Amino acid sequence: MLNYIWLTLIVLGIGVAVFSDWRDISTDRYRNGQGVVCDLAQEPPRPAAPDAPAETPAGRRTGTISVSPADYRNAYGEEIPGTIAQKIVFPPIPSEKIPEGRKNRSGVELSPDEHTPALWRQIQAAQKTDGVLRGTLEPRPDGRWTFTPDAVKFLHMNAVTNDGIVRYAKIAVELAIGLIGIMALWLGLMKIAEQAGLVAMLSRLLKPVTTRLFPDIPPDHPAVGAMLMNISANMLGLANAATPLGLKAMEELDKLNRKTGVATDAMCTFLVINTSSVQLIPATVIAIRAAAGSANPTEIVGPVIFATTIGTVVGVAVVKLLARLPVFRRQIAAPEGP
């Protein structure tokens, strides 16, 4: 069932991403391919660093582009309060690496500031380029230039696939691999404890408590032994061993059920204890913390024991109080059949 839930969430996420990208494209939100006419004032090249590669140009050129309100309105249909001036940097790309058809174009980087138009800031945030707006400058026949920001496409789909599904799938694999060795160690120790009789000893110690929690169950009934083993296994973190024992306990409890299809008080009480489960050794959480790089993964043992104990006490108290309500007692008062 959980797999279907995850599949549904993934499909919904991809569907929302596709719809959002289609909406952005249909409304031309980021004005892809739309350039704005500007004036360029170039500055002398910056000196090259002593350790710069040989193929790098002598220095990085810088400059300032100026866009008037009329030019900005003609390009984007929006108003700006006045002429904006933005510092730009020409990345040091060797000329032989520029495609032949783009020799007259120059890639530039613009660092947005408080004077940058809102549209350019949105494009820069969508480009995810570490605080710079990337685009191209192309000369015009009239001696002016055209600045065109790099296109933004399939932003939401990339976020879902690359930043979401792929990224967290990679994290899940790394975490799972890190858990293998640690879980093998703890489960091995727990198996030794089980075979050494520690689980059976805990069962005997818990027997006086279980007789008070389950007064309707005969002391020698097989359900008692299965429940005790399940509780003991959960306390030691033996989840793999606790699950079949819990199913066996429910099967035995159902044999004492006087009304098939209605949970008895003992079933509800056992389910609460099994779900809350006092943890003496939280092996899984310790393994996860160790795999995540925790300096002291076992420091949670005390808080976990306290929290799970309080949860179990509250859960048992609530189920016992609810069992006293007439609405629940009527459902199991009369046995089924003639």
What average pLDDT does this structure show over 286-296? 82
What span, in angstroms and rounded, lies between the C-alpha atoms of 108 and 64? 11
The mean of the pLDDT values for the chain is 78
pLDDT number for residue 31: 85
pLDDT at 202: 66
Cβ atoms of 281 and 237 closer than 8 Å:
yes
- The confidence score (pLDDT) of residue 37 equals 93
pLDDT in tens, 173-232: 776 776 676 556 655 665 676 688 776 676 677 778 777 888 888 877 778 777 877 787
Q: Is the pTM of this model over 0.85?
A: no
Does the structure show a pLDDT above 60 at 58? Answer: no
pLDDT given at position 261: 75
Q: How confident is the model at residue 147 (pLDDT cuts 50, 70, 90)?
A: very high
Mean pLDDT of the 24-37 span = 87
**Pairwise CA distance, residues 90 & 42, whole Å:** 10
**pLDDT for 93 beyond 50:** no
Question: To which residue do tokens 């995540």 refer?
Answer: 292
pLDDT band per the 50, 70, 90 thresholds, residue 105: low
Higher pLDDT, 144 or 172: 144
3-state secondary structure of 28: coil
pLDDT of residue 239: 67
Residue 91 pLDDT grade (very low, low, confident, very high; cuts 50, 70, 90): low
DSSP assignments along 138-202, one per residue: EE-TTS-EEEEEPP--SHHHHHHIIIIIIHHHHHHHHHHHHHHHHHHHHHHHHHHHHHTTHHHHH
